[in-house]
Structure 1
Amino acid sequence: MSLQEKYNNTVTVTEDKEPEPTKRFRWRVVDDHSPKEIYNFTLYFTVFVFGILGAARGYDEGCISGATNQKSFKKLFGLSDPKKDKHQIADLKSNITSMVQLGSVGGALLAMWSVDYLGRVRALQEVCVIWIAGAIIQITARTVGQLYVGRLLEGFAIGQTTTIGPTFMSEVSPPAYRGLFGCLFSGAVYFGIFTSYAANYGSAKHISSDSHNQWIIPTSMKIALAGLVLIGSFFCVESPRWLVKVRKNDKALQNLCKLRRLPPDHPYIVGELSDINEAVLAEKIANEDYSLWQKMRDIFVVKSVRYRFFMIGAMSQVLGQWSGANAITIYANDLFSFIGVKGIETMKMTVILGVVKFVGAYFSAFFIIDFLGRRKALYIGISLQMLTILFFAIFLHIVPQATDPDSVLTKSQKAASKGAMAALYLSGVGWTMGFNSVQYLLGSEIFPLGLRSFGQSLIMVLHFANQFGNSKAVPKMLLAMDNFGAFYFFTTVCAMALFWSWFFIPEISGRSLESMEEVFNLPWYLIGRRGATLCPDTSEVNKINYNRRYSIEEVHNEGKDKPSHEFAENASIDSKENKV
C-alpha cells in the first residue's frame, strides 16, 4: 500500500497557509512537527537505560557522604584516629571522597575515544564492567590504599557516563523533547543520591555501628545497579547518527525506523535522515582526516566552536561546580550538623534532601526545561540557589554556636535553624532546575557532529576537574573561612552565573541538532541575547506539521527551504498529484 493510500481519507493539503495555532494554554510542550508513532516503547526503553546511567555519579556521591560518617568506616580507614589533628582528618576525608572525581577526569578523557570508536551501546557496556570491578575492590578493602584504587577505578567508569549518556540522548531524542529526555540523565543523578542516602540511613539505623556491613551493604548496591544497566543495554538500539558517521547507512536507516516506528519511505524518516546525512556529509568534506590534534586546534581557532566550548561548556562547569551544590551533596551530613541537627538525625535529613532533589530534577525535566526553555530555567534555578545559600551563610554567621554539638539554641534560633534547613533543601531545587539541567544537556546539543563526543568529553574533563578541586577544597574552606565564608563565596559565584546565563546562553529548545551552526556563526555579542530570533530552525523535520486536525500537513516556508526539501517529498511520493 502506498503512502497516499494510507492517508487518502485524512490528509489535508495546504499550499501557502498554516493552520491557526491552538489558543488553549498547555503546561507542556506540544510537538506539532512529529507523528505520534515516534513516541513509542522502543524509544522510551532505550532512553531509560541510557538515562538511568546518570545514577552512577549520584549514587557514589551520596554513598560516600554517608560512609565517611559511619563509625565502622571511620575506624577502619583512620578518620577517627586520635593521633590525627583536624587538618589531617580533613585531608584524608577529602582524599577519600574526591578519588572518584580524580578517576573521572581520566574516564572523561577515555570517553573521547570509546564513545566514537566503540559506539554508544558498546561503550555503555564497557563502562558497566569497569563500574562493577571498582565496586568489588571497594567492598573488599581493608586498607585506605585499596579503597583509593577501587574508587579511582570507579571514577574511570563514571567519567565516561557523562559523555555516553548525554551524547546518545541528544542524538535519538525528537527535537521538541530533547531537553526532557536529556534531563532524565541529570535527574537520575538525584535518583542515585536519594537511594544512597536512604541505604546509608537504613544501614546506620538497623546494623550495629561496629559492623563493616554498615557501609559495605550500601556500597555493594553499585554492583546491582551496574548489572541492571548492563542487561538492559543488550536491548537498546544504537544511535543512527553514529552509524551514519561510521558509514553504516543501511543499519542507520534500520535503527531510525525502529526508534521512530515508521516505514523507511515515511516523510518524517526521509526528512530526518536527510538532515543527518547533510550534516555528516558537510562534516566529512570540511574535516577529512580530522585528527585529535585538529579537533583540539579547532576549539581554539574556529570562532563558533571556541564560543561554544569556552563561553558555554567551560563556564557552565566552572560556575556550576563552584556554586555550592556539590559541597552540599557530598558534605550534607556535616552541613546539617552545623545548624543543630545531631547524631543519626543528620542522615535522616540527607534522605529528605535526596527526595527533594530527585523530585525537583524530574519536575524540571517534565515541566520546565523544554516548556520554559534553557535560559528561563537557568534564571529561575540560579536565582533560587543564590538566595537560599545566602540565607544559609547568614545563619551560620549570626548563629555560629549552632555548630557546637553541646549547644542549646533559643526559640528564635531554633526557628532560624529550621529556615536554614529549608534553605539547603530549596538550594537543591534551584540547582536541579538550573545548572544541573543544562550542564550535561548543552554540551551534548551545541557541538557539530564531528566534535560532539570530543567536545562533550572535554567539557566533562573540566566538570570532574572542578568537582575534584571543589571536593578537596571545601573541608579546608570550612575551616579557614569559618563555615559561613565559604557560603558567601558560593553566593557570589551564583550572582556571576546570573549575568552569564543572560548574556551568553542562546535559547535552543526545540531546535534540531543540525541547525545549531547558524546560531553560533553570529557575532559573539548577539548569540546569547538574539541568536534564536535571528536564526530560526529550517531543518526538514520542522517543515512537516502534525496536529489534531491534520494527519500530515506540509508547511511551506517560502525562501527558507533547503535544497533537500524537494527530495524529502519525492522520496516517498511518486507523482505531483499525490504530494502529501
Structure 2
Amino acid sequence: MRSFIPKSRGMRDTPDEAFNWRLFLRAAIFGLLGASRGLDEGLVGGMVSLKSFKDEFRLEDGSEGHQANMLSNITSMVQLGSIVGAFLAFILCDKLGRVRTLQTLSLLWLVGFIIVVVSEGNVNQILAGRFIAGLGIGMTTVVSPMYIAEIAPKSIRGMLTNLFAGSVYLGATIAFFSNWRASVNLPDESRWQWRAPQFAHIGFASLFLLLSFAVPETPRYHMIKGRHEQAEIALADLRMLDTSHYQIQAEIIGIRSQLDREQESTHGVSRWRKLRELLFVPANRYRLMLGFMSQLLGQWSGANSITIYATEFFGVLGKSGQSEKLFASCILGVVKLASAYLCAFFLIDLLGRRRSLYMGITLQTISLTYIAIFLGVVGTETLNSGELSGPQRRGAVGSIAMIYLSGIGWTMGWNSFQYLVNADIWQLRLRALGSSLVMCLHFVNQFGNTKAVPDMLLTMQSYGFFAFSAVVSFAGLLWVWFFVPELRGRSLESTDELFSLPWYKIGRYGHKLVPEREEIHDVEEGKGDLRIEGRAP
C-alpha cells in the first residue's frame, strides 16, 4: 500500500509491510469517530431552524433575548456534556484502555439521542439527552487521536490522525443533506421533519459500538500495564512482521525505554501529582500552552460557529428561503469535507504542521476580513430588503464564496492542528491526562462560543462578529510563527529533548537545534540490543 501514500519524511525507515490493511482499518474505525461532532454541529443548526421544531418547542415565543438564550442552550448542550466527557476520557483511557473507552462513549452517544428523538415538546428532555450524548462525543476527541497516534508509523502519523479531523466534516455533510432533504420532503406540521435527521446519530453510534468489538488494544497501552510480551505480539500483528524483525524490536525498545525513564523519575506518583507535574515542569507547561492556545485561538476564529449557524449566516448574506439556505449549507459541508481529506493526505506530512497552519490561517483571515468589510459597508438591512445594486450583488456572491474559502482555510490550519497537537507532543505516561485537559478546554471554548454567538449577532451585528473572528485569526498567525515547533516525522519517543530547549527557541528553532534521532538506526547497524529486555544505547 506504500505506493498509494504520498512520500513523506522518514518513510525510508518503515518497511512496506507496516502499511497494511490492519493499520488502515483500525485507524479508519477510530478516525471516523470525528463524524460524531460533525453530525451534531450540522444537525443542530438545521434542527433549530426548522419550522416544525420551532413550533413544537415554542422557540419563537418571548423577547429576542429569550429566544437567543433558548437557542444557545439547545445548541450548546452537547458541548457542555463534552467538557465532562473529555475529562472522563482521561480516567477511562488509563483505567480501562482505549477500546473499552470507545465502547463506553458509543453507549452514551446512543442513549443520549434516543432520549432526544422520543421527546415531545419537552425542552428539558432535549437538553438532558443532548448532555448525555455530549459525554460520549467529548470522549471521542481524546480516545481517537490517542489510539491512532499509538498505532501509526511516525512517517504517516499526521495523515492518519487527521482522519479524525476530516471525518468531522463527513458527519457535517451528512447532517446538512439530512436537514435539507427533511425540509423539502417532510411537511412543516410533522415532528418527523426534525426527528428523522437525528437518526443519523443513532445509526453511527450503533455502528461504532459493534465495530469496537473488532479492534484490539494498542501495543503502547499493553506496555503501560506491564504486559510486555503482549505488547510485542500486538505490534508485530499490527505491522504484519515477525516479532524478531528489527522494526518491531526498535519500536518496542523505544517505547519501553521512554516509559521506564518516566516511571523511574516519578515512581509512586499519584494521578494528582501528574497534574502538578504538568503545571510545574517547564517542558510540560510548554506542551500544555501549545494545546490550550491552539484550542482558544482555533475555536474563537469563527469556523465552528459558521458551521453550526450556517443557515443563519447564509440568510444574512442574501440567501432567501429555508431550502435555499440549507442547500448552501450542504455545499459548505462538501467543501470542508473535500478540503479536510485533501489536507490530511497531501499537506500535513508533506509540508509540515507549521506551513499548513500558515497557509490555512492566512486564507481564513483574508476571507473573514472580506465578509466583515462587505457587511459593514452594505449593511444587513440592505441585504434583507433584497434591493441590491449590481456591485452589491457581486459583493454578496463574493461573500458567500468567502464563507466556503474560510472553510478551506480552517481545514488546512486549525481543524487539523487542534487534534494533531495532542498526538504529537505528549509523553506516553502523560498523554491521557494532557489530552483530556486540552480537549476539556476545547469544549469549554466551543460551549462559550456557541452560547455567545446569538448574543454577539444581536449586539455586535454580523459584521462585528466576522471582524472579531478575523482579528483572532490574525493573532493566531503570530502565535504560530513564534511558538509552534515543527514535529513532522518525529517519533513519539523523541520529542523530550526538543521541549527541554529554552522556551523562546522551541517554536522557531527547535526543529533545527534538535533533529530527529532514532534508535532504529542503531539497531540496523548492529549497535543496539535486539532483546526487549535490553536498553537502547
Settle same-fold status: TM greater than 0.5: yes
Please give the range of the TM-score, normalised by the shorter of the 2 chains: over 0.9
- The corresponding residue for 1:372 is 351
8 Å Cα contact 1:99/1:155 also seen in 2? yes
Aligned length: 526
Counterpart of 2:183? 204
Match of 1:576 in 2: none
Q: How does 1:280-319 map to 2 (within 5 A)?
A: 280-310=259-289, 312-319=290-297
Determine which of 317, 325, 329 is the counterpart of 1:350: 329
Higher alpha-carbon Rg = 1
- Which residue number corresponds to residue 308 of structure 2? 330
**Corresponding residue of 1:68:** 48
Deviating beyond 4 angstroms after TM superposition, the runs of 4 or more aligned structure 1 residues are none
Shift, 1:537, TM fit: 1.5
Counterpart-to-counterpart distance in 1, 2:381 and 2:212: 48
Counterpart of 2:119 (choices 141, 152, 169) is: 141
For residue 292 of structure 1, report the CA deviation from its aligned partner: 2.1
Cross-structure match for 1:247: 226
Shift of residue 76, structure 1, vs aligned partner:
1.2
* Alpha-carbon distance, 1:540 to partner: 2.2
Task: Give the C-alpha shift of residue 240 in structure 1.
Answer: 0.4
| Structure 1 unaligned residues grouped into runs of 5+ | 1-25, 545-553, 557-564, 573-580
Q: Which amino acid in structure 2 is aligned with residue 364 of structure 1?
A: C
Note the 1:134-533 alignment, pairs <5 A. Answer: 134-142=112-120, 143-310=122-289, 312-343=290-321, 344-401=323-380, 405-533=384-512
| In 2, Cα distance between equivalents of 1:250 and 1:122 | 21
- Cα contact 2:23–2:238 (8 A) shared by 1: yes
SS in 1 for 2:25: helix
- Return closer, same or farther for 1:401/1:325 CA change in 2, 3 Å cut-off: closer
Distance verdict in 2 for CA 1:532–1:542, change over 3 Å: farther
Shift of 1:405: 3.8
The one-letter amino acid of 2:109's match is W
Which one-letter code corresponds to 1:464 in the other structure? F
Q: Report the TM-score, using the length of structure 1 for normalisation.
A: 0.89
Q: Is the 8 A contact 1:340 1:403 kept in 2?
A: no
Shift of 1:403: 6.6
- Provide the secondary structure at the position in 2 that maps to 1:409: coil
Matched residue, 1:54: 34
Distance change >3 Å, CA 57–CA 403, structure 1 → 2? farther
How far residue 80 of structure 1 moved from its aligned partner, in angstroms, is 2.2
Mean Cα deviation higher: 284-293 or 351-360: 284-293
1:488-524 Cα shifts (integer Å, max 9, x gaps): 1111111111111111011011100000101000000
Give the conservation status (yes or no) of the 8 Å contact 1:332–1:350.
Answer: yes
How far off its partner does 1:401 sit?
3.8
Which amino acid letter does the alignment assign opposite residue 68 of structure 2?
A
Change in 2 beyond 3 A, CA 1:543/1:388: farther
Per the alignment, in what secondary structure is the counterpart of residue 159 of structure 2?
Answer: helix
Pairwise CA distance, 1:450: 1.2
> How far, CA to CA, are the matches of 1:526 and 1:288 in structure 2?
31
Distance in 2 between residues matched to 1:168 and 1:365, nearest whole Å: 17
Give the letter aligned to residue 71 of structure 2: K
Q: Distance in 2 between matches of 1:317 and 1:295?
A: 22
Does 1:100 pair with 2:62?
no
The residue type equivalent to 2:379 in the other structure is: P
Q: In the aligned structure 2, how far is the partner of 1:571 from the partner of 1:209?
A: 65
Q: Deviations over 1:355-375 (max 9, x none)?
A: 000001001000000000000
Are the aligned partners of 2:109 and 2:205 in contact in 1 as well (CA < 8 Å)?
yes
Q: Distance in 2 between matches of 1:274 and 1:164?
A: 24
d(CA) in 2 for partners of 1:541, 1:70: 58
2:92 is aligned with 1:130: no
The answer to whether 1:29 aligns with 2:8 is: yes
The aligned residue for residue 529 of structure 2 is 567
Give the distance between the partners of 1:379 and 1:102, measured in 2 at CA.
31
Give the secondary structure class of the aligned counterpart of 2:429. helix
- Shift of the 73–289 alpha-carbon distance from structure 1 to 2, 3 Å rule, reads same
| TM-aligned CA deviation for residue 406 of structure 1 | 3.8
SS at match of 1:194: helix
Q: CA deviation at 1:487?
A: 1.1
1:338-385 alpha-carbon deviations (Å, 9 max, x no partner): 111011100000000000000010010000000000000000000000
1:154 & 1:468 partners in 2: Cα distance? 15
Counterpart-to-counterpart distance in 2, 1:390 and 1:364: 23
Partners of 2:252 and 2:532 within 8 A in 1: no
The one-character-per-residue Cα deviations of 1:135-168 (angstroms, maximum 9, x if unpaired) are 1000011200000000000110011110000111
Residue pair 2:253, 2:532 contacting (<8 A) in 1 also: no
Q: Is the 8 A contact 1:444 1:453 kept in 2?
A: no
Query: Within 2, Cα distance between the matches of 1:465 and 1:216?
Result: 27
Aligned counterpart for 1:77 among listed residues 42, 48, 57: 57
State the 1:278 CA deviation: 0.5
Cα distance, 1:288 vs. partner?
1.6
Give the residue type in structure 1 aligned to 2:36. A
Q: Is the 8 A contact 1:28 1:367 kept in 2?
A: no
The letter for the 2-side match of 1:566 is G
Q: Displacement of 1:448 after TM fit?
A: 0.8
Following TM superposition, by how much is the alpha carbon of 1:232 offset from its aligned partner in structure 2, in angstroms?
A: 1.5
Task: Check whether the contact 1:360–1:429 (CA below 8 A) recurs between aligned residues.
Answer: yes
CA distance in 2, matches of 1:300, 1:453: 15
CA–CA distance in structure 1, aligned partners of residues 445 and 528 of structure 2: 48
What is the rounded CA distance, in whole Å, between the counterparts of 1:463 and 1:391 in structure 2?
A: 27
Q: Report the alpha carbon displacement of residue 27 of structure 1 after superposing the two structures with TM.
A: 6.0
Q: Which amino acid aligns with 2:411?
A: T
Q: Structure 1 residues 261 and 219, CA, compared in 2 at 3 Å: closer, same or farther? A: same
Contact 2:6–2:345 under 8 Å retained in 1? no
Task: Please list every run of 5 or more consecutive structure 2 residues that lacks an aligned counterpart in the other structure.
Answer: none
Alpha carbons 1:338, 1:403 under 8 Å: kept: no
Q: Which moved more, 1:296-305 or 1:512-521?
A: 296-305
Change in Cα spacing, 1:571 to 1:322, as seen in structure 2 (3 Å) is closer
* Cα-to-partner distance string for 1:111-137 (whole Å, 9 max, x where unaligned): 110111110111101110111000100
Once residues 247 and 483 of structure 2 are traced to their aligned partners in structure 1, the CA distance between those partners, rounded to angstroms, is 33
| TM-score, normalised relative to structure 2 | 0.96
| Residue 407 (structure 1) shift | 2.6
Contact kept, 8 Å, 1:340 with 1:402, in 2: the verdict is no
2:97 pairs with one of 111, 119, 128: 119
Distance 1:450 1:294 in 2: 12
Amino acid at match of 1:33: D
SS at match of 2:137: helix
Displacement of 1:302: 0.1
For the 8 Å contact 1:265–1:571, the answer to whether it is kept is: no
Matched-pair contact (CA < 8 Å) for 1:59–1:193:
yes
Distance across 1 between alignment mates of 2:178 and 2:89: 30
Judged with a 3 Å threshold, the aligned counterparts in structure 2 of structure 1 residues 220 and 403 are, in CA distance, closer, same or farther, namely farther
Identity of aligned residues (%): 43
Distance in 2 separating the partners of 1:118 and 1:307 = 28
